[in-house]
Structure 1
Amino acid sequence: MFKRLLKYEVLKDGAFYDRDTYENIFHDPDSRLGKKLNTFIVICVILSVGVLIIETVQGLPYSWYLNLFFADALVSIIFLLEYLYRFLRSKSKLLFPFKAFNIIDLLSFAPFFLMFFFPALSGLAILKVLRLLRIMRLFEVSAHSPIALGFLKTIREYHKEYKAIFSIFMSLLIIISSFVYYVEFPVNPTFSSIPQSLWWGFVTMSTVGYGDMVPVTAIGKVFGVLLILLGPVLLAVISSITILVFMDVAESQKITDSKICRTCKTRNSEHANFCLNCGEQHFTDIISPEHIRTPLKGFMKKLFGR
């Protein structure tokens, strides 16, 4: 009984994390210490990327390069310790090194130690490039946030709509680019193949327009104008759906992301059994996301008949 009370007192304080639900403290969105540690990791990532950028500048004083080295060493040690902690806390230690994010983490700090203990490897460009993988840590930290999880869930829910838009985009691109190739090739050598024409079509639809390939026939120019007009329209549709996805996530999260204590009105994790603030077990009912009407669902119903 004492251990149980102690556990919920610890959770109430928010300094630690729910070991029954989360594998380590970095994954618990309700732990204050976990949030601070995640923020600290983000700062270390930004610092390490800044070091990688600044150290490429030529002509800096020697003291600068020395300070950059010590900063890189400190960040690499922090990443190593954090990696070892997550390894020790993992439930499946055999599979831990083979998970995608863990491979990225290892490759992000391992080059520093390889170059430190084996100076002959310092000239390898691949080791310096691998250090840039540290920026992927930002995705890892945000991957466990409720907003990110809700966004991915909503994307999966409407994957058919994204596939439909992508299919329309690719169909128009391939048909028009292929037609322009057959029209332009006899008089315009820059359209030497359909892949080259596809490159021109993609650049034109994206409204970038490098100017390396330009149609010279009247029909080619007409289709070029058509691609210029269609590109922003399709991009606008994709952007609108993506914005509505974020609105959908925000609307759903207000209701589904937390359990609200009936006693003190504190928001708790959906996995919580007891309130972090008062310790009571009285929560309001959680409404399923399927029963929530959001802007995205109304838009999708009008656009795709869902």
Structure 2
Amino acid sequence: MGNMTSDDTRFDSAGSAIPTIVLSDGRQIPQLGFGVYKVEPDEAQRVVEEALTVGYRSIDTATLYGNEDGVGRALANSGLRRNEVFVTTKLWNDDQGYDETLRAFDASMNRLGLDHLDLYLVHWPVPSLGRYVDSFRALQKLRDDGRVKSIGVSNFTEEAIERLIAETGEVPALNQIELHPGFTQTELRAYHMGRGIATEAWAPLGQGSVLGDPTIEAIARTHGRTPAQIVLRWHLQIGTIAIPKSVTPSRIAENFEVMGFRLGPDEIDAIDGLRFDVGRLGPDPETFGA
């Protein structure tokens, strides 16, 4: 197995037309990344290699997904320099706590085969556990020790973030949340903007549930694009970071081809205004993990 060439320079998105978002700590993250949620461990290497070949330069995994080792093998075999790929993983609920987080990070890095991480997230707040502040303090240490470049959270509410800021003195660089047409998280996104927190969308395509919507289909026909490309373009234009997941090579490539057109203001408004019977598809952060 090969190795990613180490490079201390900051992430370089050269060669990719995908724009980057500048985080509050000054580091850059590609606005379109590749997610591997529910990608089977024995399939992760293949699909991540496919994504990197297509041109993705941001890979999002998590301890929960059970596929960090497959992601690591794909990165090692890619021939890319370390600074050319932005890698994110997440701390699982069972590993929350200061010392537990440090151990969990070591285990994730061993599986990924990396000497440093671009972004480490607390996966869920689990308020009933009461450990996310201690967990974030461990992330601060990892960042201060140079092992992680940026630190943030996932699925955090405004209340949880405010407690984190009050008790650690730091605003997380990013909050990764469920966000898609029909569940646009308008209030939380506005709060993020006020606090200088980047918004990253998981399930950006609503797990496929929004792609048959007549409004999205009509906009797709107007632009000669697919519904998925329209929704991902909407994410880019409203300023969110999107991490679509697929195991199908044609869709991995399709989801990356979102730069050659723009949606008009009326089209953005039309997608913003969509309502579906099912809004949130995933768990409620207030109660999940209790």
**More RCO (CA 8 Å, sep 6+):** 2
TM category, shorter? under 0.3
TM-score normalised to structure 2 length: 0.25
What is the TM-score normalised by the length of structure 1? Answer: 0.24
